[in-house]
Amino acid sequence: MENASKALIIAGEVLIGVLILSLASYMIIQFGNYSRNVNSQISEAEIRQFNVHFTNFSGRANISAQDVASLINYANKSNSDYEAQPGDDFYVDVLIDGSTMLRPDVNINSFLNSNRNTTYYYCNLTAFNIDDINDDTREITIKANNTDADITYNEGTSLVTSIHFHSITDPDYANALLNGYNTIRKN
């Protein structure tokens, strides 16, 4: 009888020990999942924060040379920070009319001087036409269809890998922008 009661006590202690170990392993797994989710959310936020520097230009037809120069400087700094070379996951390229602006022979100051107050750019717009320049409302209406061809993303990291700007060749549009007109887009 005495041995049976000791055996029951030992079995109860083993059962409580297994229960405590199971509870501890469950908590460890839950904390690991929580940590993974937090890291994933932080990573997604960092990707969005990085990409917004480039995606802010999407669908615009009033991008100044100063805006482009600022973006070129940001891309150069980002590439330098990540020590990225063309073809790397974190490398970002900025193109104007098909030519990369991140070449060593491109001087940002000379780019700005040659385009100051004369050239505007558009990004992620196709079939871009000026529909109306209204002097009374100081608005320019453009007809445009959106496309995502001018901003490309890395499939693995979801980071922007290149952004392509196109020169606006219509002098009436550029002059209206210089005089403070607002752009209204209609599809």
pLDDT tens, the chain, 187 aa long: 677 888 888 888 888 988 898 888 888 888 777 767 656 665 888 888 889 999 999 888 888 888 999 999 999 998 988 888 888 878 899 999 888 888 877 788 888 888 776 678 888 877 677 778 888 888 888 877 666 578 988 887 888 899 999 888 777 787 788 777 888 777 6
Same domain, 32 and 92: no
Q: 124 and 58 in contact (C-beta within 8 Å)?
A: yes
Residue 7 CB burial class (10 angstroms; 0-12, 13-18, ≥19):
exposed
- All residues at 6 or more sequence positions from 185 whose CB lies less than 8 Å from its CB, including other chains: 59, 61, 141, 142, 144
- Do 127 and 143 meet the contact criterion of CB atoms below 8 Å apart? yes
In a shared domain, residues 105 and 160: yes
Question: DSSP secondary structure string, 119-173?
Answer: -EEEESEEEEEEEEEETTTTEEEEEEEE-STTEEE-TTT--EEEEEEEE---HHH
Distance (Å, whole) CA 154 – CA 130: 33
Same-domain check for residues 51 and 131: no
pTM of the model: 0.70
Cα separation, 82 vs 88, in Å, equals 10
Q: Which residue has the tokens 């979801």?
A: 158
Residues 108, 33 share a domain? no
The 3-state DSSP class for residue 63 equals strand
Domain termination residue (choose one: 29, 55, 81): 55
Q: Which structural domain, as residue segments, surrounds residue 46?
A: 1-55
| pLDDT for the residue numbered 132 | 80
State whether 65 and 139 are in the same domain.
yes
Q: Are residues 112 and 149 in the same domain?
A: yes
Claim to verify: residue 93 and residue 155 sit in the same structural domain: yes
Question: In which region does residue 87 sit, left (phi positive, over 0), alpha (psi from -120 to 50) or beta (all else)?
Answer: left
Q: Side by side, which strands form the sheet with 139-146?
A: 125-134, 139-146, 182-186
Q: How many domains does the chain have?
A: 2
Q: Do 123 and 157 share a domain, yes or no?
A: yes
Sign of CA dihedral 113, 57, 95, 72: positive
